[in-house]
């Protein structure tokens, strides 16, 4: 599975670059994504309406203070808007961004290449799977091997027919308590790191037992844990 | 004119009421106010341009994170909007609001009566003067007596020809270090309390030494410290020993910036302003120390960005968000009731003058 050697490089959506060329970098952002699948819809009718409403200024306070989540608010899907926002990042000296959007929250390889070309900002795309609530329907039946192969394929060959390659495996979604399928994904991701040498990025719940179990999943499988 | 029928009552903009009728009350808000020109004009052209830009959604992040001032944001001046916002407060159970806007920042007696009548919410109007930079231009020449006389007039006769009467002396503006004229205003305010029995509400300077200095001046000038509300503690006092010393004066301790979760504080960048979790934690500590009968709360709503209409938290935030959070954190219902009802009602009740 060895294509272009990535050792010693950073893999961006436009190809591998020298680490020195990366510059100021934020390692966890979402440029294009949709979290609607993982939001819990509220029971109360008036809150449900707000949950589904188009974003407007008078709703922002509620979303900011966490009383309500809104599906529209959790979608970053308009490429011209994101080009403008990433452009602002560049104006303040930013040079690169990790798009931590993994499988399950609407990863968008071609969209990322458009934004990167339009802004000149290096974008590193994610791989692997988000939390269980966002897993594909067939996750119960997937073997660790097939997941590892898919993840490694994203890094080495590119996602599907797009030719756009992932530069980080993550964010790997971990809930609490860790469901069996998330453990399977963690093990598969560790295997994919052995195959590709790519870094791993973890999304975790801030509870100590989770962290312990995470590391336990990794110990036997990954040469280095860059979680 | 002694007492003017106010002793034992709470003076609202629509007249005196029984303290028991006041209900749930936030003791430090601005319903109408104009804070533009409190902040310095930026030097840089692009920042100055944004100062004059009408409020827009894409300015909110910058405003909330304190990077630059915006004149339009600093004005609460549209009465239909404020009627709607105060109406939201009522929907969440709110019954009384202190409008801490006083002379220098756009106090609007008739506007407040309109909002109170439209919403049914009791409004207590302020008096006395804001910080020195907003004092009237003749303040150097004003005597302490003439200032006292003006405040007594606001409380007993009403502001000018409006006849709308103030129910609190404040927020009395104090800078750090205290300006000479601010000390004069503090002394005059203490005297006005002796003549009217009205409560005092203080806006302390941004230094931990400031509340104690203010309390000393007020006491020396004849104020009853148990009838003083010290505001903005969540951006002023962080040292528990100093908080305890202030509490022991028996004053009311006001945590009044609820809903502002950003720690960066442009008026004093060396201060990390408390967030809501820290506010609740210090209030819990004060209750355990036996000072639960002195705590009052509010949001110090003072910008468009604080209003629900403009993406903010609004006057009802404490009731909508903080009360459930207090329950999760294990606060007792009796303590929540004291903070929301009993303490503000007692704080705002007029005492016997003199």
- Give the list of residues 6+ apart from residue B154 with CB closer than 8 angstroms, or none: B127, B165, B166
ipTM, two decimals, is 0.77
Mapping DSSP onto H, E and C, the string for chain B reads: CCCCCCECCEEECCEEECHHHCCCEEEEECCCEECCCCCCCCCCHHHHHHHCCCCCHHHHHHHHCCCCCCCCCCEECCHHHHHHHHHHHHHCCCCEEEECCCECCCCCHHHHHHHHHHHCCEEEECECECCHHHCCCCHHHCCHHHHHHHHHHHHHCCCHHHCCCCCCEEEEECCCCCCHHHHHHHHHHHHHHHHHCCCEEEECCCCCCHHHHHHHHHHHCCCCHHHEEECCHHHCCCCHHHHHHHHCCCCEEEECCCCCCCCECCCCCCCECCCHHHHHHHHHHHHHCCCHHHEEECCCCCCHHHCHHHCCCCCCHHHHHHHHHHHHCCCCHHHHHHHHHHHHHHHCCECCCC
Beta strands in B175-233 (DSSP E): 200-203, 228-230
pLDDT value at position A218? 53
Residue of B nearest to A62 (CA): B313
Nearest to B97 by CA among B169, B45, B40, B22: B22
B316-352: pLDDT as tens digits: 999 999 999 999 999 999 999 999 999 999 999 999 9
pLDDT value at position A46? 86
Which residues in chain A have Cβ-Cβ distances shorter than 8 Å to B259?
Answer: 65
pLDDT value at position B309? 96
Are A58 and B57 inside 8 Å of each other by CB? no
Per-residue pLDDT of chain B (354 residues; tens, 9 = 90+): 455 799 999 999 999 999 999 999 999 999 999 988 677 788 888 888 888 899 999 999 988 887 778 999 999 999 999 999 999 999 999 999 999 999 999 999 999 999 999 999 999 999 999 999 999 999 999 999 999 999 999 999 999 999 999 999 999 999 999 999 999 999 999 999 999 999 999 999 999 999 999 999 999 999 999 999 999 999 999 999 999 999 999 999 999 999 999 999 888 888 999 999 999 999 999 999 999 999 999 999 999 999 999 999 999 999 999 999 999 999 999 999 999 999 999 999 999 998
Which residues in chain B have Cβ-Cβ distances shorter than 8 Å to A64?
Answer: 311, 313
Residue of A nearest to B312 (CA): A61
Residue of B nearest to A63 (CA): B311
Q: What tokens were used for B302?
A: 């003072």
- Give the list of residues 6+ apart from residue B306 with CB closer than 8 angstroms, or none: B259, B260, B299, B312, B313, B314
How many angstroms separate the CA of residue A67 from the nearest CA in chain B? 7
Question: Would you call A92 an interface residue with chain B, using a CB distance cutoff of 8 Å?
Answer: no
Residue of B88, B259, B312 for testing the chain A interface, max A β-carbons within 10 Å: B312
Q: What tokens were used for B15?
A: 């007249």
How many angstroms separate the CA of residue A85 from the nearest CA in chain B? 11
How many angstroms separate the CA of residue B61 from the nearest CA in chain A? 11
pLDDT value at position A214? 58
A71-82: pLDDT as tens digits: 999 999 999 999
How many angstroms separate the CA of residue A27 from the nearest CA in chain B? 21
Answer yes or no: is pLDDT of A219 > 50. no
pLDDT value at position A50? 87
Residue B63's SS3 state is helix
Answer yes or no: is pLDDT of A225 > 50. no
Cβ pair A128, A152 in contact under 8 A: no
Which residues in chain B have Cβ-Cβ distances shorter than 8 Å to A67?
Answer: 320-321
pLDDT value at position B276? 98
Separation of first and last alpha carbons in chain B: 13
A135-168: pLDDT as tens digits: 999 999 999 999 999 999 999 999 999 999 999 9
Size of interface A-B (CB pairs under 8 A): 29
pTM: 0.88
- Give the list of residues 6+ apart from residue A6 with CB closer than 8 angstroms, or none: A16, A155, A156, A196, A197, A198
Which residues in chain A have Cβ-Cβ distances shorter than 8 Å to B308?
Answer: 58, 61
How many angstroms separate the CA of residue A60 from the nearest CA in chain B? 5
Which residues in chain B have Cβ-Cβ distances shorter than 8 Å to A59?
Answer: 311
Which residues in chain B have Cβ-Cβ distances shorter than 8 Å to A60?
Answer: 57, 60, 311-312
How many angstroms separate the CA of residue A192 from the nearest CA in chain B? 39
Cis peptide before B74 (omega within 30 of 0): no
Are A67 and B261 inside 8 Å of each other by CB? no
Give the angle subtended at the CA of B260 by the CAs of B259 and B265, to the nearest 5°: 165
DSSP-derived letter for residue A53 is: S
Question: Would you call A60 an interface residue with chain B, using a CB distance cutoff of 8 Å?
Answer: yes
CA distances from A162 to A10, A137, A157, A169, B129 (A): 19, 23, 9, 18, 67
CA distances from B101 to A135, B170, B283, B286 (A): 54, 8, 25, 28
Beta strands in chain B (DSSP E): 10-12, 15-17, 25-29, 33-34, 75-76, 96-99, 122-125, 169-173, 200-203, 228-230, 252-255, 295-297
Q: How far apart are CA B160 and CA A227, in angstroms?
A: 68
Q: How far apart are CA B300 and CA B313, in angstroms?
A: 11
Which residues in chain A have Cβ-Cβ distances shorter than 8 Å to B56?
Answer: none
Q: What tokens were used for B173?
A: 């503006």
Q: How far apart are CA B49 and CA B89, in angstroms?
A: 34
Residue B60's SS3 state is helix
B 45-104 near A (Cβ less than 8 A): 57, 60
**Position of tokens 């601010």?**
B182
**Phi, psi angle pair for B37, to nearest 5°:** 75, 0
Which residues in chain B have Cβ-Cβ distances shorter than 8 Å to A57?
Answer: 57, 60, 309-311
The whole-number average pLDDT for the span A52-60 is: 90
B 281-310 near A (Cβ less than 8 A): 308-310
Which residues in chain A have Cβ-Cβ distances shorter than 8 Å to B261?
Answer: 65
Cis peptide before A171 (omega within 30 of 0): yes
DSSP-derived letter for residue A59 is: H
pLDDT band at A67 (very low <50, low <70, confident <90, very high): low
Residue B49's SS3 state is helix
Q: How far apart are CA A154 and CA A128, in angstroms?
A: 9
Residue of B nearest to A60 (CA): B311
Are B308 and A67 inside 8 Å of each other by CB? no
């Amino acid at each position: 599975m060895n294509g272009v050697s990535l050792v010693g490089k950073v893999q961006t959506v436009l190809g591998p670059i020298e680490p020195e060329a990366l510059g100021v970098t934020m390692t966890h952002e979402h440029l294009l994504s949709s979290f609607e699948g993982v939001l819990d819809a509220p029971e109360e009718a008036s809150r449900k309406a707000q949950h589904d409403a188009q974003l407007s200024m008078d709703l922002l306070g509620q979303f900011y203070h966490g009383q309500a989540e809104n599906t529209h608010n959790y979608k970053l899907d308009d490429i011209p808007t994101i080009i403008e926002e990433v452009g602002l990042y560049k104006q303040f000296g930013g040079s690169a961004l990790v798009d931590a959007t993994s499988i399950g929250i609407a990863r968008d390889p071609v969209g990322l290449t458009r934004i990167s070309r339009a802004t000149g900002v290096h974008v590193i795309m994610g791989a692997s799977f988000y939390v269980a609530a966002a897993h594909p329907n067939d996750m119960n039946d997937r073997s660790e091997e097939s997941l590892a192969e898919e993840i490694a394929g994203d890094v080495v060959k590119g996602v599907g027919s797009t030719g756009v390659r992932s530069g980080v495996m993550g964010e790997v979604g971990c809930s609490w308590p860790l469901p069996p399928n998330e453990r399977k994904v963690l093990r598969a991701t560790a295997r994919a790191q052995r195959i590709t040498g790519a870094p791993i990025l973890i999304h975790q719940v801030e509870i100590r037992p989770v962290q312990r179990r995470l590391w336990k999943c990794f110990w036997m499988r990954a040469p280095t844990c860059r979680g | 004119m002694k007492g003017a029928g106010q002793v034992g009552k709470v003076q609202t903009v629509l007249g005196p009421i029984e303290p028991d009728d006041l209900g749930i009350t936030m003791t430090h808000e601005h319903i109408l106010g104009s804070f533009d020109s409190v902040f310095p004009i930026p030097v840089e052209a692009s920042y100055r341009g944004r100062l004059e830009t009408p409020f827009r959604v894409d300015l909110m992040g910058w405003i909330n994170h304190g990077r630059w001032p915006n004149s339009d944001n600093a004005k609460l001046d549209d009465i239909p909007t404020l009627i709607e916002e105060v109406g939201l407060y009522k929907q969440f159970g709110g019954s009384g609001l202190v409008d801490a806007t006083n002379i220098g920042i756009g106090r609007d007696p008739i506007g407040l009566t309109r909002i109170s009548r439209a919403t049914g919410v009791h409004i207590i109007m302020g008096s006395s003067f804001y910080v020195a930079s907003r004092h009237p231009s003749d303040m150097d020449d004003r005597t302490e007596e003439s200032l006292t006389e003006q405040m007594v007039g606001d409380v007993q006769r009403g502001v000018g020809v409006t006849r709308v009467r103030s129910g609190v002396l404040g927020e009395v503006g104090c800078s750090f270090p205290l300006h000479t004229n601010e000390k004069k205003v503090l002394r005059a305010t203490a005297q006005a309390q002796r003549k009217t029995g009205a409560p005092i509400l203080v806006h302390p300077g941004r230094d931990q030494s400031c509340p104690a200095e203010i309390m000393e001046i007020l006491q020396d000038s004849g104020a009853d410290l148990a009838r003083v509300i010290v505001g903005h503690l969540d951006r002023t006092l962080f040292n528990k020993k100093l908080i305890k010393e202030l509490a022991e004066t028996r004053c009311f301790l006001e945590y009044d910036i609820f809903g502002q979760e950003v720690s960066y504080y442009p008026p004093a960048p060396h201060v990390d302003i408390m967030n809501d979790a820290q506010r609740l934690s210090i209030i819990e500590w004060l209750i355990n120390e036996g000072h639960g009968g002195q705590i009052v709360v509010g949001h110090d709503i003072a910008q468009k960005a604080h209003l629900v209409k403009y993406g903010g938290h609004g006057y009802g935030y404490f009731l909508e968000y903080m009360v459930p959070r207090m329950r999760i954190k294990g606060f007792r219902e009796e303590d929540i009731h004291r903070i929301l009802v009993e303490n503000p009602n007692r704080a705002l009740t007029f005492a016997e003058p003199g």
